[in-house]
């Protein structure tokens, strides 16, 4: 019987995922659950044939250059892989994979939660009731922005963007989008295509970002682009913090260009932005877009599908380049 490949699982994962991993791999894990340092990653590369890693592990070019040749594959437990220098890793002969599709519903749910919460002043309302400051009611009290019938603009109409569009249609929203490639009519489902972000933004009563963080999308939402949005609009970001210039976001909130924002991701994570925390019209979550029990299992199973395919000598379905 051939020996099972060794797999290092960098963080605590659901027990169903670990149980399945143990069928195919000799699993290596630590008892604690903390982000792993570059030194730890390098140490484990000499002990494992594969990694099942998270976005808390940073695979920079410097780390890639020091990895032991024993390590053959990094199967990420995430759809985003901006924590990996993929060209540097592939130059070392490593295969890198992600977990698309399985987290689209959960992430779009979070985007919808943020959209509704930002529009209807959830932070202010919750704080008022919770602190015993709710002492009156009037027709002008806590009036927010109506979602139903408004225009939702989506940047990045991949799988998550398409699920967001489907959910938004359930609220009677008119969906507009920008994507590098226009979708087929079956996938568009009536959504209105714009051939640039600039052309899209004037239609963004609500703007939801679903594009990856790349060199091209860094600070995509800057002063100039916020200026193109309708006055009193709402920004939702469940993509990556790098896509929004947080200084420009605060300026847009200060000027009233934006009525509110809903953010699950920040330029600095973990931690967020203490200046943004001063805004009651910013509804914030700590990067939990995909954090449902069902999705956490599915992400692990998808990563294992990739690992098992790789060690069978096949091309993993979710190889990234
Ligand atoms: C993802 O899958 O990219 C989520 O943001 C968690 O890292």
- Strands of the 95-97 sheet, one edge to the other: 26-28, 6-9, 50-53, 73-76, 95-97
Q: Is pLDDT at 2 greater than 80 in this prediction? A: no
CA 281 to ligand 1 center in whole angstroms: 25
298 lines ligand 1 (CB under 6 A): no
> What is the per-residue DSSP string for 194-211?
-SSHHHHGGG-SEEEE--
Q: For the residues 184-200, what does the mean pLDDT come to?
A: 98
Query: Nearest-CA neighbor of 158 among 184, 179, 189, 185?
Result: 179
Question: 135-143 long-range CB contacts below 8 Å, 24 or more apart?
Answer: none
Cβ within 8 Å of residue 84, ≥6 positions away:
59, 74, 76, 96, 320
Taking only the tens place, the pLDDT of each residue in 159-183 is 999 999 999 999 999 999 999 999 9
Compute the mean pLDDT over every residue in the chain, rounded to the nearest whole number: 98
Q: Does 79 contact ligand 1 (Cβ within 6 A)?
A: yes
Given 240, 246, 302, 308, the catalytic residue: 240
- Confidence band of 1 (pLDDT split at 50, 70, 90): low
315 has catalytic annotation: no
**269 counts as catalytic:** yes
| pLDDT over threshold 60, residue 255 | yes
Binned at pLDDT 50, 70 and 90, residue 116 comes out as very high
What would the DSSP string read from start to end of 233-255? Answer: EEEEE-S-GGGB-HHHHHHHHHH
Tokens of 31: 């008892």
Contacts 24+ apart (CB under 8 A), 127-135: 127/280
Give residue 265 CA to ligand 1 midpoint distance, Å.
Answer: 10
Asked about 240 being catalytic, the answer comes back as yes
| Residue ID of nearest Cα to ligand 1 atom 7 | 78
201 pLDDT higher than 60: yes
Residues 6+ apart with CB under 8 A from 176: 151, 152, 153, 154, 191, 192, 193, 194, 200, 203, 204
Q: CATH for 104-284? A: 3.40.50.720
CB 298 within 8 A of CB 112: no
Best residue among 13, 54, 80 to mutate for probing ligand 1, ranked by most atoms within 8 Å of CB: 80
277-312 pLDDT, tens digit each: 999 999 999 999 999 999 999 999 999 999 999 999
CA 118, chain centre distance (Å): 18
- Please say whether the beta carbons of 243 and 222 come within 8 A: no
- Ligand 1 centroid–CA 135 distance in Å is 41
* Per-residue confidence band for 136, with pLDDT thresholds at 50, 70 and 90: very high
Fold of 6-102+293-311: Rossmann fold (3.40.50)
Q: Which atom of ligand 1 is nearest to the CA of 77?
A: 2
6-102+293-311 and 104-284 share one CATH topology? yes
Nearest atom of ligand 1 to the alpha carbon of 55: 7
Q: Which residue has the tokens 């210039």?
A: 245
Residue extents of the structural domains in the chain: 6-102+293-311, 104-284
Please enumerate in sequence order all residues whose Cβ is within 8 A of that of 240, keeping only pairs 6 or more positions apart, or say none.
80, 82, 212, 213, 217, 265
For 68-106, the pLDDT digits (tens) are: 999 999 999 999 999 999 999 999 999 999 999 999 999
Ligand 1 touching residue 213 (CB < 6 A): no
* Residue minimizing CA distance to atom 6 of ligand 1: 78
Cβ–ligand 1 contact at 290 (below 6 Å): yes
**How far is the centre of ligand 1, averaged over its atoms, from the C-alpha of 2 (Å)?**
34
């Amino acid at each position: 019987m051939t020996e099972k490949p060794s797999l290092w699982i960098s963080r605590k994962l659901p027990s169903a995922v670990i149980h399945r991993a143990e069928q195919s791999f000799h699993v290596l894990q630590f008892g604690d659950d903390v982000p792993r340092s570059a030194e730890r990653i390098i140490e484990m590369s000499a002990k494992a044939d594969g990694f099942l890693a998270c976005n808390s592990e940073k695979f920079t070019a410097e780390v890639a250059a020091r990895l032991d040749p024993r390590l053959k594959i990094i199967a990420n437990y995430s759809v985003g892989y901006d924590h990996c220098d993929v060209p540097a890793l592939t130059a070392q002969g490593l295969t890198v994979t992600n977990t698309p599709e399985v987290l689209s519903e959960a992430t779009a749910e979070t985007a919808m939660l943020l959209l509704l919460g930002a529009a209807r002043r959830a932070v202010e309302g919750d704080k008022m009731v919770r602190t015993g400051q709710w002492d009156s009611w009037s027709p002008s009290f806590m009036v927010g922005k109506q979602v139903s019938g408004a225009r939702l603009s989506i940047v990045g109409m991949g799988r998550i963007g398409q699920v967001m569009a489907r959910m938004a249609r359930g609220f009677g929203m008119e969906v507009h989008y920008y994507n590098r490639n226009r979708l087929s009519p079956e996938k568009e489902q009536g959504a209105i295509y714009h051939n640039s972000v600039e052309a899209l933004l004037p239609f963004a009563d609500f703007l939801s970002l679903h594009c990856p963080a790349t060199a091209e999308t860094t600070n995509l939402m800057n002063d100039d682009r916020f200026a193109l949005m309708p006055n009193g609009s709402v920004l939702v970001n469940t993509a990556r913090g790098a896509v929004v210039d947080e200084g420009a976001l605060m300026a847009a909130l200060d000027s009233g260009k934006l009525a509110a924002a809903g953010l699950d991701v920040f330029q600095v994570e973990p931690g967020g932005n203490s200046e943004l925390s001063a805004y009651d019209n910013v509804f914030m979550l700590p990067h939990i877009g995909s954090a449902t029990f069902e999705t956490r299992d599915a992400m692990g199973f998808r990563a294992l599908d990739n690992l098992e395919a790789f060690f069978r000598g096949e091309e993993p379905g979710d190889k990234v380049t």
